[in-house]
Amino acid sequence: MTASEPGDVADVILVRYGELALKGGNRADFERQLANNIRVALEPITPAKVERSWGRILVRPERRLEVAMRRLQDVFGLTSISPARVAPLEFAAISDLAERVFDEALAEWPRPGPLRFRVRTTRSEKSFPLTSVEVDRAVGGRLKERDARLTVDLAEPELLVGIDVRTEGAYVFARRLDGPGGLPVGTLGRALCLISGGIDSPVAAYLAQKRGLSMAYVTYHAAPFIGESAKKKVVDLVRVLSRFQPRHSRLWVVPFAAAQVAIRDVGTSSYRTVLYRRMMQRIASRLAEREEALALVTGESLGQVASQTLENLTCIQAAATLPVIRPLVSFDKEETVRIARRIGTFELSSVQEPDCCTLFMPTKPVIRGRPELCAELESRLDIARLVENALAGAELVSIPPQG
Ligand code: ATP
Ligand code: MG
């Protein structure tokens, strides 16, 4: 594709985004961040012009249009996209272009036989001499003549030809791909996700990113009791998640075995899991400071495993100094698995790999943990030193945003 001349036919991707999110004073931030995220997402694929225009973002990739469109489907905040061609603001030119776009769509239509279609015009340029309905009728009438199998269906068309009349030209399109919805990553700040190699926490990170949070990660690793492959698994998961955000995904790999040994040695084995989790929250709260993250994210869900009761979550939460966000709190496992499959983390997560939590596993974990007992058991530990040592051994892995 070459750059367009005035009046020429040019390829552009019309990007739509959620208007609801724009209530309040955040509109400009939202649009700026979305345009930026689009730019970064396309960088490894093609040079592209990205500009904002009255409630839309216009993307002009130099090449690889189809790949670029698929990539845009990972950019949160965007509700739908259409590859479009542009005509100058004259009815004859618009109508000719609509015919061409329509013919292209018909040529690729998967079935023979009858086809219901309609034209739908929207106008943000109100000086255009024809109303939307007049354009619909005139262009629709002309398109219908193209083929005897065509009927107009305003309510439930199978093929919709859109005409978007804007100040700089009329955009004509016949395809509309769903975007992922959500809010542009970065508009709501930053959080730190406690990620294991399991199914849940990667999905929790994905959902938090979808709500506009830029994500950093921490994983706890029980070397030498548990091998390097557990760590590699988490790195691979973060790599999958990295395609949803514009900046590098920073993963802290924290040595956790010393803390676990110390916790084992205080006895009361039923409290081990809860005490491990409390330790994780403490260390994560400190790392969050380094990351300028304002919240922690976990994959915990109520009642999913015996240890995830309100009582235990309360004990665990109490060790954090930041709010703990649990996007999956009310999810059934099947709902989480469905998302994991869709975003491409399920297969990785399903590879059996020992997690640090399985180390010195209690035979009977406590179901209703009591905060006073947690505090009492921990009073026998040098918590501050364990936290400092873990932080001192933390290793940073930084993954670029192309997934
Ligand atoms: P997941 O599938 O995410 O492992 P889960 O359902 O297995 O979750 P738990 O094993 O009880 O539940 O873990 C609860 C949460 O604690 C996880 O979702 C994750 O946020 C955090 N977590 C558990 N183990 C680790 C770890 N090794 N490193 C970092 N975070 C962890
Ligand atoms: Mg787990």
Judged by its nearest atom, the ligand closest to the C-alpha of residue 297 is 1
Length of the chain: 403
The domain limits of the chain are: 11-178, 190-399
Specify the DSSP element, H or E, that contains 57: strand 56-61
Q: What is the pLDDT of residues 354-392, one digit of tens each?
A: 787 777 787 788 999 999 999 999 999 999 999 999 999
Q: What does 286-307 look like in DSSP terms, one character per residue? A: HHHHHHT---EE----TTSSTT
Rounded distance from Cα 235 to ligand 1 centre (Å)? 15
Cα distance between residue 256 and residue 169, in whole Å: 60
Cα dihedral 279, 353, 334, 77 sign: positive
Residue 95 has φ and ψ, to the nearest 5°, of -65, -45
Please identify, by atom number, the ligand 1 atom nearest to the C-alpha of residue 220: 28
Q: Pairing state of beta strands 11-17 and 56-61?
A: antiparallel
Type of residue numbered 226:
I
From the options 3.20.20.70, 3.30.2130.30, 3.40.190.10, 1.10.3470.10, give the CATH code of 11-178.
3.30.2130.30
Please identify, by atom number, the ligand 1 atom nearest to the C-alpha of residue 357: 24
User: Is the CB of 305 within 6 Å of ligand 1?
Assistant: yes
| Cβ atoms 141, 159 nearer than 8 A | no
User: Is the CB of 220 within 6 Å of ligand 1?
Assistant: yes
Rounded distance from Cα 384 to ligand 1 centre (Å)? 23
Query: pTM to 2 decimals?
Result: 0.91
Rounded distance from Cα 349 to ligand 2 centre (Å)? 10
Cα dihedral 264, 220, 192, 285 sign: positive
Please identify, by atom number, the ligand 1 atom nearest to the C-alpha of residue 218: 29
Rounded distance from Cα 180 to ligand 2 centre (Å)? 27
% of the chain beyond a pLDDT of 70: 96
Domain at 190-399, CATH homologous superfamily: HUPs (3.40.50.620)
Q: Whose CA is nearest to atom 22 of ligand 1?
A: 196
Q: Whose CA is nearest to atom 17 of ligand 1?
A: 299
pLDDT at 364: 85
Rounded distance from Cα 212 to ligand 1 centre (Å)? 22
Please identify, by atom number, the ligand 1 atom nearest to the C-alpha of residue 304: 6
Digits of tens for pLDDT over the chain (403 positions)? 344 433 333 479 999 998 665 666 678 888 999 999 999 999 999 999 999 988 899 999 999 999 999 999 999 999 999 999 999 999 999 999 999 999 999 988 888 889 999 999 999 878 899 999 999 999 999 999 988 889 999 999 999 999 999 988 999 999 999 999 999 999 999 999 999 999 999 999 999 999 999 999 999 999 888 888 889 999 999 999 999 999 999 999 999 999 999 999 988 889 999 999 999 999 999 999 999 999 999 999 998 777 789 999 999 999 999 999 999 999 999 999 999 999 999 999 999 887 877 777 877 889 999 999 999 999 999 999 999 999 999 999 999 987 5
User: Is the CB of 199 within 6 Å of ligand 1?
Assistant: yes
Other CB atoms within 10 Å distance of the CB of residue 69: 18
Rounded distance from Cα 268 to ligand 1 centre (Å)? 22
Cα distance between residue 271 and residue 373, in whole Å: 9
Q: Whose CA is nearest to atom 8 of ligand 1?
A: 200
Nearest by Cα to 2 from 43, 58, 47: 47
**What residues form DSSP beta bridges with 150?**
115
Other CB atoms within 10 Å distance of the CB of residue 144: 14
| Cβ atoms 31, 19 nearer than 8 A | no
Rounded distance from Cα 202 to ligand 2 centre (Å)? 11
User: Is the CB of 194 within 6 Å of ligand 1?
Assistant: yes
User: Is the CB of 99 within 6 Å of ligand 1?
Assistant: no
- Which of 196, 282, 298 to mutate for ligand 1's pocket (most ligand atoms within 8 Å of CB)? 196
Please identify, by atom number, the ligand 1 atom nearest to the C-alpha of residue 349: 2
Rounded distance from Cα 356 to ligand 2 centre (Å)? 9
User: Is the CB of 187 within 6 Å of ligand 1?
Assistant: no
